[in-house]
Amino acid sequence: MVFDFETILVLVTLLTGITVAWAAFRRRRVKASGSYPDKEGWWIELCRSLFPVILLVLIIRSFFVEPFRIPSGSMIPTLLPGDFILVSKFAYGVRLPITNQRLFGDGQPERGDLVVFKYPENPSQDYIKRVVGLPGDQIAFEDRRLVVNGEPVPVEEAGSYTTPTDRGADMFTERLGDLEYNTIHQLSFGHPDGEYEVPEGHYFMVGDNRDRSADSRRWGPVSEELLVGRAFMIWMSWDTNNNTVNWSRIGDRIR
């Protein structure tokens, strides 16, 4: 079992719920015997107060919306370090906490989606990348240009970009289907070209900061079982360089 926040939340919910149920059962038995119930311990009152709140948080976080924080620059310029995002948990089917087993729903990622998933080499960590390859796709990178099933993805120069660490980069507008988004390249950190085949039940994920992202080019496609949800909005943004709120990004739709 992976002891991440989700696991801890489930265990605390179970512990407080069992405590409340046990206290209620004990109280009924004492009353039925004609005795006066003993004074309950402080921990029972605490569990009784916490249980409905924790249960509500678990339900919302597991089945509807979950917040995440962007810790690194692998998705620059779309997402910045310090962005806090919301992720739809039902976009790709409702799943059980911890096991991530699908309960119902048949939604599948589309090319261009920004997806949060469990890192294949350490499922206790959550990653976010852009889906560029679906099951059965042939993915290639030729001179840093994305090629899907033998067709180069349309791209246009979009000027220069200065990263939060003041490194200069070249920015490009990429079109994947009907979706447009920006990527950046920092040539001194380049990834080698390569070709990849996406197995059934897997997705090929890459970062928009193409030369500073550890992604499927390094550790392979991501299994459907590791998908967490689709990112859709920035609800808070903290400028890590100036230690202040980046008000202009709050409420931005993610695409």
The pLDDT tens digits for 99-128 are 878 888 788 999 999 999 999 999 889 999
Query: Of the listed 129, 213, 216, 237, which one is catalytic?
Result: 129
Q: Which two tokens stand for residue 110?
A: 């589309």
| Active site annotation includes 129 | yes
33-60 residue pLDDT tens = 777 666 778 888 899 999 999 999 999 9
Judge if 31 and 148 occupy the same domain: no
Q: What is the pLDDT of residue 29?
A: 83
Judge if 105 and 52 occupy the same domain: no
CATH number of the domain encompassing residue 184: 2.10.109.10
Judge if 74 and 174 occupy the same domain: yes
**Res. 2 pLDDT band, cuts 50 70 90:** low
3-33 residue pLDDT tens = 578 888 999 999 999 999 998 888 888 777 7
What is the maximum alpha-carbon separation in the chain?
83
Judge if 116 and 203 occupy the same domain: yes
Say if residue 77 is preceded by a cis peptide, omega within 30 of 0: yes
Q: Is residue 124 part of a domain?
A: yes
Q: Is residue 145 part of a domain?
A: yes
Q: What is the pLDDT of residue 3?
A: 59
Q: Which residues pair with 140 in a beta bridge?
A: 147, 195
**Whats the size of the chain, residue-wise?**
255
Judge if 96 and 27 occupy the same domain: no
Q: Is 0.95 topped by the overall pTM?
A: no
Judge if 125 and 196 occupy the same domain: yes
What is the rounded CA–CA span in Å between residue 55 and residue 47?
11
Judge if 112 and 54 occupy the same domain: no
With contact defined as beta carbons under 8 Å apart, do 41 and 27 qualify? no
Burial 207-231 (b: 16+ CB within 10 A, else e): bbbbbbbebbbeebbbebebbbbbb
Residue type for position 151:
E
Q: Of 63, 91, 111, which one is at a domain's C-terminal end?
A: 63
Q: Of 16, 36, 63, which one is at a domain's C-terminal end?
A: 63
Q: Which two tokens stand for residue 168?
A: 């200069």
Report whether pLDDT(165) > 90. Answer: no
122-159 residue pLDDT tens = 988 999 999 999 999 999 999 889 999 999 999 999 99
**Res. 186 pLDDT band, cuts 50 70 90:** confident
Report whether pLDDT(80) > 60. Answer: yes
Query: Which sign, positive or negative, has the C-alpha torsion 148, 127, 89, 65?
Result: negative
Report whether pLDDT(162) > 80. Answer: yes
Query: Counting beta carbons within 10 angstroms of the beta carbon of residue 242, is it exposed (0 to 12), middle (13 to 18) or buried (19 or more)?
Result: exposed
What is the rounded CA–CA span in Å between residue 55 and residue 175?
42
Query: Which DSSP helix (H) or strand (E) runs through 51?
Result: helix 42-63
Q: What is the pLDDT of residue 103?
A: 82
**Res. 174 pLDDT band, cuts 50 70 90:** very high
- Which has the closest alpha carbon to 93: 105, 80, 76, 75? 105
Judge if 48 and 142 occupy the same domain: no
With contact defined as beta carbons under 8 Å apart, do 216 and 197 qualify? no
Q: What is the pLDDT of residue 167?
A: 72
Judge if 33 and 76 occupy the same domain: no
Query: Of the listed 74, 213, 216, 237, which one is catalytic?
Result: 74
Judge if 39 and 96 occupy the same domain: no
What is the rounded CA–CA span in Å between residue 218 and residue 221?
9
Q: Is residue 255 part of a domain?
A: no
Q: What is the pLDDT of residue 101?
A: 81
Helices (H), 120-237: 216-219
| Number of structural domains the chain divides into | 2
Q: Is residue 138 part of a domain?
A: yes
Distance of CA 230 to the CA centre of its chain: 7
- Which has the closest alpha carbon to 215: 131, 100, 124? 131
| pLDDT, averaged across the chain | 90
Q: Is residue 119 part of a domain?
A: yes
Q: Is residue 211 part of a domain?
A: yes
Report whether pLDDT(180) > 90. Answer: yes
Judge if 168 and 190 occupy the same domain: yes
What is the rounded CA–CA span in Å between residue 180 and residue 166?
25
Q: Is residue 254 part of a domain?
A: no
Q: Is residue 93 part of a domain?
A: yes
Q: Mean pLDDT lowest for which of 167-171, 214-218, 228-232? A: 167-171
Q: What is the pLDDT of residue 240?
A: 82
Instruction: Provide the residue range defining the domain that includes 43.
Output: 5-63
Arithmetic mean of pLDDT, 185-197: 83
Say if residue 120 is preceded by a cis peptide, omega within 30 of 0: no
Arithmetic mean of pLDDT, 175-199: 89
Block residue for tokens 């992202």: 213
Judge if 184 and 199 occupy the same domain: yes
Count CB atoms within 10 A of the CB of residue 170.
Answer: 16
Q: What is the pLDDT of residue 4?
A: 74
Q: Of 29, 44, 63, which one is at a domain's C-terminal end?
A: 63
